[in-house]
Structure 1
Amino acid sequence: MPKLWRYNLHYFDYLQEPQRSVENKSHLVSDWIEHNPQGTVDAWEPYTASLRIVNWVKFFLSLSAASLKNNTGDAGGTKGEFHAGLKPDWLTSLYTQALWLEQNIEYHILANHYLKNGVALFFAGAYFQGVDADRWLKKGVQILREELDEQFLADGGHYERSPMYHSICVTDYLDVLNLARHSQGVLSPEDQATFAQRMTTSLTFLNNVCLPDNEIALFNDSAFGIAPAPKQIFDYAEKVIGYEPPVRPSSVAIHSHAASGYFVCRNGDDAIIIDCGSIGPDYQPGHAHCDTLSFELAIDGRRVIVDSGVHDYEPSQERAYARSTKAHNTLAVDGEEQSEIWGVFRVARRAKPLDARIEQRPDGSVWFTGAHDGYRRLRGRPIHTRSIAYDGKETWNIEDRLEGNGAHRMESYLHIHPDYHVVKNGACFHITEANGKSIAMIEAVEATEVRMERGSYFPEFGRQYENDVMVFICSGTIPLTLSYRIRKRPTQSC
């Protein structure tokens, strides 16, 4: 079984499943304690312990509240009342796990792992009493304060540039705020106000990087089914901090998240999300992909041009492919990678965005332009610049320009959602449904060759679907230009 799936067994996220009986959940906790003594592989790792501590505290609180209500009619109370109706060995195990985590904080990894450690210590400190608990609470609050500024950028985005991990970390802070509402004195009013204000900005960012199907874009190790769905997060945020996502306009609107590197253009049920940001924090690029200047496009509410997503966190062919340049809707030069991807979570020389901006013009059209230096390590030190022009109605023009010196080969990849297929019709390529209906047309404007390939789409961990991939090609002495056009309402000819 892959390590990630073994990890998931030890997270105990399933304790939050409303359809699972209390008896079954209780059995799983007792069974884990019996079969996973301290030091057990996977079970006793800081990240798994952190998630498990939070899930156990949530479950224990739900049982204690039910016990108190049944016995006294009162579901509130002190820390001592938090333990009502629980088995002593459950409390002993939870306490031991918190002591162990305190000595095994992931300073060597940092990023979302370190934040998870802080959330777990906060939960344990709020749940128990005594010197140890006070120390855990203090350390947890310290980490939460530090990482709020470290991990969340000015535009609200999480610094690992992954919409999935952004969702996870926003939920972490909402969990902290929710616990603080029901546990007097564990978090100061000032901290509560600061956390709520910063999460409001981050929730708006999340709303903006969702496509019209109300799910996240799949950039940088993002997949469906791991973090709570955006709607679940927004509903939770409404209960905890009174957040309401802004209503999306029915006309053309743009969102520029320059700090995170995400640029969005919407028009009703059509939307394009463009990635032109840093690959992540310099000291932790583990979730980075070669997706600079890539994009996802939805037409009439459905994903048509897609990111390949992520299949696993193993040293596998699927992992290598999912992180590669050719797995994204961007340009490869001379068959090389934008950034040098090493192993499962490492990156050597990295593409850096040089410029990116999006603007809406008076006629309603939208213009995006961005560039990166990932190919400057090649002979001639080429720079890739991409512009995307939207006419405000039905057409997106994508142009790639390579500047520098020497002769080079440009290959621009375009990944089609597996619900659709590409059918060539003269000089045009139609994106068709299974019944043959054409929903969009793609035209090579400046390209010497268009090649069709089969690729892989990984919308969830462990799930793989074959899909059509178009590759637009040209070669020559730079400056070189390669371009294609996507039209929403297909015609019979280009």
Structure 2
Amino acid sequence: MNIKTILSKPLPVVWYRFVQLVKLKVYFKTKFWQKIEPKVHQKVSKSKKTWNAKSLLFTNDFSATDIPEMLQQQTISEANNIINGTISVFDVTYKFAQPISWNTDWRADYSWKNKYFKGYSFYEKNKAKEFDVKFPWELSRLSFLIPVARAYQLEAKKDQLAYIQEILSDWKTSNPIGFSVNWYPMEVSVRTINLIQLREILLEAIDTDEVVNLLNEILLLHGIFLWRNVEFTDIRGNHYSANLTALLLLGSAFKGFYAEAKTWYNYAVKRMEKEFHLQFIPDGVNFEKSISYHRLVVEFYLISFLVMQRAGLKLEEKTLKVLKNACEFTRDVTKPNQLTPIIGDNDSASVFLNDQVSLNDHTNMLQLASLFFQDEKLNTVNEKYHSAYEVFGTKATENLGVTTQNTFASYYYKEGGFVTVKDAQNYFITDVGEVGMKGRGGHGHNDLYSFELMLDGNDIIVDPGCYTYTGDLALKTKMKSTAYHNGLEVDGEEMAPMIGNWGISNIAQPFDVTAEHTTTKAIISGKHPGYQRLEDAVTHQRTFEIEKNSFKLTCTDVITCESPHKIARNLHFDEKIGLEIKENTIFIKTNNTSSKLTVDDFTTIRIAEYTFSANYGSKTTAKKVILETEIKGTTTVQFTIEEEKQF
């Protein structure tokens, strides 16, 4: 953060960041970072006994051999693949030779030279290659070591432990503290949480003192760095939550060994609940307005509050209530296929990546929440996940119940700004809230009154997702835009203007929002003033009706204006969908079903291609339908989507 940005913040934040910046300059000039590494090494290596205090994240009521045989075999198979160099990054498997180049985006063959972490800049336009720092960052989060440690718990093979030792030693040597592209506070935080889990597993295995000592050294360096680079600002988001969680875990494990760790622990404990309530709306929705980030931040606080409870600290009832609401929100927005919609930015991040589920499957987090709250209504799958056994133990996990939802129901998160309608096979969701991050945008998109639709278990209308952050800035901006969502566009203008690389103007604020659920249908309606800034002010109202028996969707848009305008309603179809236009009807085909989209007679229909991204860093081409209408005065336009019989 530069001086200009710092000075735009409130005075306490300005002072905090100014002092932090001055201290960092002093650390750099006095070679603090180069000096602290040997000091930590000396303290760890001279200790008479391996420091084995746990963070309290994992339970003692667990043995690796207690988990089901099939899960054991899956773990061993995954570990073997990893040891042989096959590692999954953003749900894509790559082959890595050792030693791994930790500062390289291997897809673009681009490397960042090691230098002081403050000297990097990632937002480059018009790149010759589409390199993206998030790929070496994700690899350096080191979560792929966890399945290998689990396999070592089961088999105690020397090559498994040797692999972990070799990877950790190489990473430490290749990434001196503060002097590589992988030393950024958020990355340090997430890597810490992963390495704490790795350490807890290894502490339960035999002959691990040497590698645990190495982990102790790496984790202490992470704490020392993070404490001096806490991402404190006026409106804090997932980064600060990650900082607090990492400092809490580090403090919990090392406060009896390293004096400064007590400070880390106390800082995190003092701020954790207050920060939670700043980042979560009372009905449970995370204020960044991204389904992917909602899951990640819930994981942070679920971990933190569990560790605090196990340390004997009492949480406020309102904290537990809002956390449970946050978990219920994830359950309520989950589709019948157990995947979540991709609304807002999606960087595919999680600190429970090793449960062998896809990145858009949040059921393992829900299972942890179900055990935390002892409420089987939060657990939606019969499968028991590895993380559940480790965090809560064999007995609690084996006795866990499961709930399913088969009836037609709707869920309105009025404060958070989402409405979901679903039954056993069909699903609808729309965003009816502000842009996110208290009106700044951040990880939210220009997607007010956009929607997703699933019919008979098949995704029909989808959100295009978020392919990249730094790899292609133009595409990143495009995928946040009004035209890249299933809403309504006026004269090719944004619903709300974009601001820089991350922000969106807070002018398209929803009003007159209603959500009604009857015995026969669900009706959702709302307006926004985003286009009132045009020379001829335009107000837009959108109403959805979803019928219970057929799940037929009717979308009605009322546009109020005086002068002529051209409106476009964009509908992005799933990549597996086939489309055929016949007059004012589009026939929608999947492998086993057929649906149809019917529009008004005075609308022109055309099909175009768009970039679809199911996970961060992955993209494919899919089809979108653009409904274009010339209007003047108050105009009503409408389309319906309904399923036809199977063919």
TM-score by length of structure 2 reads 0.69
Deviation at 1:360, TM superposition (A): 1.5
CA distance in 2, matches of 1:323, 1:116: 24
Q: For residue 442 of structure 1, report the CA deviation from its aligned partner.
A: 0.6
Partner of 1:105: 230
Aligned equivalent of 2:282: 154
| Aligned pair partner of 1:216 in 340, 352, 355 | 340
Are the aligned partners of 1:250 and 1:268 in contact in 2 as well (CA < 8 Å)? Answer: yes
Instruction: Name the CA distance, whole Å, in 1 between partners of 2:246 and 2:162.
Output: 25
Deviates more, 1:348-357 or 1:131-140: 348-357
Counterpart position of 1:31: 170
Stretch of structure 1 that moved more, 23-32 or 371-380: 23-32
Q: Is 1:96 paired with 2:252?
A: no
| Distance change in 2, residues 1:19/1:464 (3 Å) | farther
Q: Greater shift after overlay, 85-94 or 213-222?
A: 85-94
Cross-structure match for 2:434:
278
Change (3 A) 1:361 1:219: same
For the pair 1:61 / 2:216, whether they are aligned, the reply is no
- Distance (whole Å) between structure 2 residues aligned to residue 491 and residue 103 of structure 1: 61
Residue of structure 1 in register with 2:564 after alignment = 407
Kept in 1, the 8 Å contact 2:190–2:246? The answer is yes
**One-letter code aligned to 1:251:** T
Instruction: Report which of the two has the higher share of strand.
Output: 1
| Separation in 2, partners of 1:376, 1:490 | 43
Aligned to 1:466, what secondary structure does the other structure show?
strand
What residue in structure 2 maps to residue 122 of structure 1? 248
Q: Which residue of 2 aligns with 1:352?
A: 509
The 8 Å contact of residues 203 and 212 in structure 2, kept in 1 or not, is answered as no
Q: 2:185 matched to which residue of 1? A: 46
Whether the 8 Å contact between 1:331 and 1:412 is mirrored in structure 2 is: yes
- Secondary structure of the 2:204 match is helix
Deviation of 1:316 (Å) = 2.7
Residue 375 of structure 2 aligns with which residue?
Answer: 243
The 1-side partners of 2:287 and 2:247 are apart by 22
User: How far is the alpha carbon of 1:260 from its aligned partner?
Assistant: 1.2
Matches of 1:6 and 1:441, distance apart in 2: 44
Give the alignment of 1:249-268 within 5 angstroms.
249-268=405-424
Q: Partners of 1:450 and 1:19 in 2: how far apart?
A: 55
Preserved CA contact (<8 Å) 1:390 1:396: yes
Q: 2:359 aligned with 1:233, yes or no? A: no
SS at structure 1 position matched to 2:336: coil
User: Structure 1 residues 416 and 225, CA, compared in 2 at 3 Å: closer, same or farther?
Assistant: farther
Q: 1:89 to 1:378 in 2, by over 3 A?
A: same
Per-residue CA shift, 1:357-413, capped at 9, x if unaligned?
211224x12211011121111122211110011222222110111113322111001
Cα separation, 1, equivalents of 2:275 and 2:186: 16
1:488 and 2:643 matched: yes
Aligned residues: 471
Match of 2:138 in 1: 8
Once the two structures are superposed, residues 143-169 of structure 1 have per-residue CA deviations (whole angstroms, 9 ceiling, x without a partner) of: 311221111111111111111111111
C-alpha contact (below 8 Å) 1:222/1:309 kept by paired residues = yes
TM-score by length of 1: 0.89
Aligned partner of 1:165 in structure 2 is 293
Q: How many angstroms apart in 2 are the aligned matches of 1:178 and 1:12?
A: 23
* Cα separation, partners in 2 of 1:200 and 1:84, compared to 1, 3 Å: farther
Distance of 2:630 and 2:194 partners within structure 1:
55
CA distance in structure 2 between the partners assigned to 1:426 and 1:405 by the alignment: 29
Evaluate the alpha carbon distance shift between residue 190 and residue 324 of structure 1 in structure 2; reply closer, same or farther with a 3 A threshold: closer
Structure 2 counterpart of 1:417, from 574, 595, 618: 574
CA RMSD across the alignment: 2.4
Report if aligned partners of 2:282, 2:322 keep a CA contact under 8 Å in 1: no
1:23 Cα deviation (Å)?
3.1
Who is 2:611 aligned against? 456
**Are the structure 2 counterparts of residues 461 and 112 from structure 1 closer, same or farther at C-alpha, using a change threshold of 3 Å?**
same
Residue 325 (structure 2) aligns with: 201
Which residue pairs with 1:341 in the alignment? 498
Kept in 1, the 8 Å contact 2:561–2:632? The answer is no
Unaligned runs of 5+ in 1: 71-82
Quote how far apart the aligned CAs of 1:85 are: 5.3
Q: Which residue of 1 aligns with 2:272?
A: 144
1:426: Cα distance to partner? 4.1
Of 482, 489, 497, 1:325 maps to 482
The Cα shift of 1:6 comes to 2.0
1:73 paired residue number: none
- Give the Cα separation in 1 of the matches to 2:373 and 2:409: 27
Q: Match of 2:63? A: none
Distance in structure 1 (CA, Å) of the matches to 2:645 and 2:541: 28
Note the C-alpha offset of 1:10: 2.4
Aligned partner of residue 54 in structure 1, secondary structure: helix
User: Structure 1 residue 89: deviation in Å?
Assistant: 4.6
Q: C-alpha distance in 1, partners of 2:586/2:151?
A: 47
